[in-house]
Chains A and B, each alone.
Chain A
Amino acid sequence: MKNLRLKAARAALDMSQQDLADKVGVSRQTINSIEKGDYNPTIKLCISICRALGKTLDELFWEE
């Protein structure tokens, strides 16, 4: 399932996938895979992404 909330949060900060990847310390393809729903990140990476985007885990990764 696509993670549109992550994509939207990133776009809201005017960050490219590469910018976010550099900030979090992963490859651009990994961010792309998470956004497309191809890869389930570990909780450690989820927290890093949330910190980089100023969001909570619930806001970005919790499925209702």
Chain B
Amino acid sequence: MKKKTLAMTVLSIIIVSVVILAAGIRSALQPESKDFMQFSNTVTVTDSGVEHEIAPIHFEPIGKKVTFDVEIDGPDGIDTEVIIQVGSPDSASIVKEKITGTGNGNAKIHVTDAEGKDLYMQFIPENSGSLAPSSYSLQFKLRGTSDELKFHSGPMILAVLLLVFGIYVIVTTNRNESKYDERQLAARGKAAMNALIIVLMCCFTYGCLSMSVENFPISMYEVGIGSVIVGSTAFAIMCDINDAFFGLSERRSKFLALSWVMGILALFGSGMTFLGLGRFNEITGTGLVVGICFFLLAIELTVKTAIEKKEAADEES
């Protein structure tokens, strides 16, 4: 094995190992995610009951099992019923818990199947009978705990697969170095550097936008996949413009056809495509980027093939 290949392989293993180790340490140190919320509200006790304006609280919990620790501080004569609903604040409750004697009341509310659901928590104060009509202040403390950050095997498998793929790419790239001549290698080096800058710029732009725009509609997942696809396409186009994408013995026709097929499938194929569903989500957004990139690549390859044929014909004549 060449020194360069060995060095790159070792480097990849170290990088992936550090990522896995960091994830492991984080999961060990912080096995559960915790959110804390505190607010107060005024309730009015009347002869007919308790009037309040406590709005339902909306949660989109991460993880399957969620536990809410609820603490309510207020006068002893108020009991509070805490209910959890799924979908909307008008739907039937899936969990009901009564906190009696609010003065020192707290409860643990468990939701065992919360993944991907919209949860609403409502507080319904009641007069247990001992309070005189008046206004009272209630202090609420909420702590949500989820099992999401526990270590999952999925990302581990993905990381290992990426590691194997990375090593394979490094080994084959170094082995096939002789399929490019010196001018092509230099051009590929420049293109790789420019593609890396493009990927970094994508990530940097996303970082700036997501910080400055509240609820920025593009997720990290889309940016990660999209940046890599855009960078790879830019690399391929820059290489091909400088006649350095295909090796000395490679034919471009197969790749050209593949690019058109990939572009068409990503944009027009049945199922989860943007044009198929007519709306954006993470999958269709990524598919749209993939489709556009492959289309651009296919157009560039087609134009370049025509130029190449013309140049070869001119040279022969």
Contact = CB atoms under 8 A, between A and B. Distances in A.
B182 A41 contact: yes
B312 A25 contact: no
B315 interface: yes
A37 B281 CA distance: 50
A28 interface: yes
A13 B22 CA distance: 64
Given A16-B315, A18-B312, A27 B182 contact: no
Contacts of B81: none
A56 interface: no
B117 interface: no
A3 interface: no
Interface residues of B, number: 10
Interface in A1-46: 16-18, 25-30, 32-33, 39, 41-42, 44-45
Given A27-B243, A27-B248, A33 B315 contact: no
Interface residues of A, number: 16
A2 to B, nearest CB: 14
B122 interface: no
B51 interface: no
Contact of A17 (B181, B182, B243, B315): B315
A45 B184 CA distance: 13
B175 to A, nearest CB: 17
B105 to A, nearest CB: 79
B183 interface: yes
Given A27-B243, A32-B311, A16 B181 contact: no
Lowest 3 CB-CB distances: which A-B pairs, in order?
Answer: A29-B243, A26-B181, A30-B183
Given A17-B315, A18-B312, A30-B184, 10 more contacts: A16-B316, A26-B183, A26-B248, A27-B184, A28-B312, A28-B315, A30-B182, A41-B182, A45-B181, A45-B182
